[in-house]
């Protein structure tokens, strides 16, 4: 077991000493988990291949899955990329710093294992004040995937990070719960028209309102061999108990619950709070009321169903509109079964 240092930085006022210490640990080639406005990231110096290798090792990430480089400013974006289409500047004006990642032509500044050998690099300017302060204290970009064991739901609290990675990394920076709750929107900006590779907090509607044309990535037959975002071919967000997604209203959900009950199963329900009085199961776990709240709580609630507590989770579905697109994208990947 490695010693994992913990810092609590609920804000950054008068926290220069801690920020310098965190930057020094990163500069020495170690891995530190830190908050962003989406989920917690598992950071290392993106220009140091050995440091980046520790990210892959500690979270058990497949080597062919590239990482996002996090930077503080737009000037730093230019340090990592070759020239890119004009619409990227418009997107950055509107959404950066914020929960959006741009896939740009790489200029090779980052270590090769950050991009998994691709010619492109994912770059994001996070808006979380603690992430910004850490980046500003470092003189290098920080490569960071979500700070979970590969395959598990992404972490939205430092406690989630601890559950997965305590004793395996040099440090964890705790700044409470993250804001958006879903990972950033990933936009491929290497073509004339941008393509959304992963839906997130910045929605398709937001991007359309900003620049007009944008495409959704449609997986092709060779998706598994050459996926646009390599990470998308792996199992994701899986809770420890089978998750059944049910399309339809409360009575349809109740029918599914009753079927499992007749099989003698313990049934947990994951749904918006308004469903609680309409459904009867062994346990009801609320996702909140608005779609925004569902996004914030989803990963924490998926993690709350730990092995042995229930036999099956029955989960509500959401309209694929606004952040509902991102929520359904994650739920469909987490689900073991979908019932229409």
| DSSP state for residue 112 in the 8-state scheme | H
Q: Which stretch binds Mg ion (CB under 5 A): 23-31, 143-151, 213-221, 287-295?
A: 143-151
Does residue 133 interact with ligand TXA by CB under 6 A? Answer: no
Does residue 38 interact with Mg ion by CB under 5 A? Answer: no
CB 312 within 8 A of CB 242: yes
Shortest spacing between CB 262 and ligand TXA, in angstroms: 39
Q: Which stretch binds ligand TXA (CB under 6 A): 4-12, 84-92, 115-123, 157-165?
A: 115-123
Does residue 39 interact with ligand TXA by CB under 6 A? Answer: yes
My answer on whether omega of the bond before 97 falls inside 30° of 0, hence cis, is yes
Q: Which residue has the tokens 């959006």?
A: 100
Shortest spacing between CB 198 and Mg ion, in angstroms: 10
CA distance 12 to 9: 6
Q: How many residues does the chain have?
A: 340
- Choose the one of Mg ion, ligand TXA, none that binds residue 201, judging by a C-beta under 5 to 8 angstroms depending on kind: none
61-80: which residues touch ligand TXA (CB under 6 A)? Answer: 65-68
CA distance 263 to 130: 49
Shortest spacing between CB 122 and Mg ion, in angstroms: 12
Q: Which residues, including other chains, have CB under 8 Å from residue 158's CB and lie 6 or more apart? A: 6, 33, 35, 40, 172, 173, 174, 175, 176
Tokens of 315: 């989960």
Q: Which stretch binds ligand TXA (CB under 6 A): 15-23, 167-175, 229-237, 263-271?
A: 229-237
Q: How far is CA 263 from CA 84, 151, 258, 340, in A?
A: 57, 29, 9, 20
Does residue 194 interact with ligand TXA by CB under 6 A? Answer: no
- Choose the one of ligand TXA, Mg ion, none that binds residue 32, judging by a C-beta under 5 to 8 angstroms depending on kind: none
Contact residue for ligand TXA among 98, 122, 153, 181 (CB under 6 A) = 122
Does residue 172 interact with ligand TXA by CB under 6 A? Answer: no
Per-residue binding string, ligand TXA, 41-60, x by CB under 6 A, is x-------------------
CB 7 within 8 A of CB 171: yes
Q: Which residues, including other chains, have CB under 8 Å from residue 217's CB and lie 6 or more apart? A: 188, 195, 196, 197, 228, 229
CA distance 78 to 88: 12
Nearer of residues 82 and 233 to Mg ion, judged by Cβ: 233
String of DSSP letters for 114-137: HHTT-SEEEEE----HHHHHHHHH
Nearer of residues 96 and 254 to ligand TXA, judged by Cβ: 96
Does residue 146 interact with Mg ion by CB under 5 A? Answer: yes
- Choose the one of Mg ion, ligand TXA, none that binds residue 66, judging by a C-beta under 5 to 8 angstroms depending on kind: ligand TXA
Shortest spacing between CB 212 and Mg ion, in angstroms: 30
Write out the E strands in 247-336.
Answer: 267-271, 283-286, 312-316
List interacting residues with ligand TXA (CB under 6 A). 36, 38-39, 41, 65-68, 101, 103, 115, 118, 120-122, 124, 144-146, 183-184, 186, 197, 228-232
List interacting residues with Mg ion (CB under 5 A). 146
């Amino acid at each position: 077991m490695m010693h994992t240092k913990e810092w609590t930085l609920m804000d950054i006022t008068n926290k220069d000493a801690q920020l310098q210490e965190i930057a020094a640990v990163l500069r020495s080639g170690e891995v530190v988990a830190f908050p962003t406005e989406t989920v917690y990231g598992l950071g290392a110096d993106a220009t140091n291949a050995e440091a980046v290798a520790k990210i892959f090792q500690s979270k058990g990430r497949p080597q062919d899955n590239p990482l996002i480089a996090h930077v503080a400013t737009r000037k730093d974006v230019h340090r990592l990329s070759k020239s890119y289409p004009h619409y990227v500047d418009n997107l950055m004006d509107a959404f950066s710093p914020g929960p959006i990642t741009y896939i740009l032509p790489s200029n090779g500044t980052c270590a090769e294992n950050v991009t998994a050998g691709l010619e492109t690099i994912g770059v994001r300017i996070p808006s979380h004040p603690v992430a910004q302060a850490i980046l500003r204290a470092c003189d290098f970009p920080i490569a960071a995937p979500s700070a979970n064991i590969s395959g598990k739901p992404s972490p939205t609290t430092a406690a989630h990070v601890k559950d997965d990675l305590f004793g395996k990394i040099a440090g964890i920076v705790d700044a409470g719960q993250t804001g958006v709750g879903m990972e950033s929107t990933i936009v491929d900006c290497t073509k004339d028209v941008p393509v959304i590779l992963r839906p997130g907090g910045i929605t398709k509607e937001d991007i359309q309102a900003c620049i007009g044309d944008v495409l959704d990535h449609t997986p092709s037959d060779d998706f598994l061999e050459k996926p646009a975002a390599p990470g998308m071919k792996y199992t994701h967000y899986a809770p420890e108990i089978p998750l059944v997604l049910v399309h339809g209203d409360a009575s349809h959900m109740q029918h599914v619950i009753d079927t499992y009950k007749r099989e003698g199963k313990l049934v947990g329900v994951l749904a918006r709070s308004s469903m609680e009085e309409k459904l009867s199961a062994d346990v009801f776990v609320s996702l909140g009321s608005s779609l925004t709240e569902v996004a914030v709580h989803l990963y924490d609630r998926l993690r709350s169903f730990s092995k042995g507590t229930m036999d099956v989770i029955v989960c509500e579905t959401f309209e694929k509109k606004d952040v509902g697109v991102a929520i359904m994208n994650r739920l469909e990947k987490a689900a073991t079964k979908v019932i229409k």
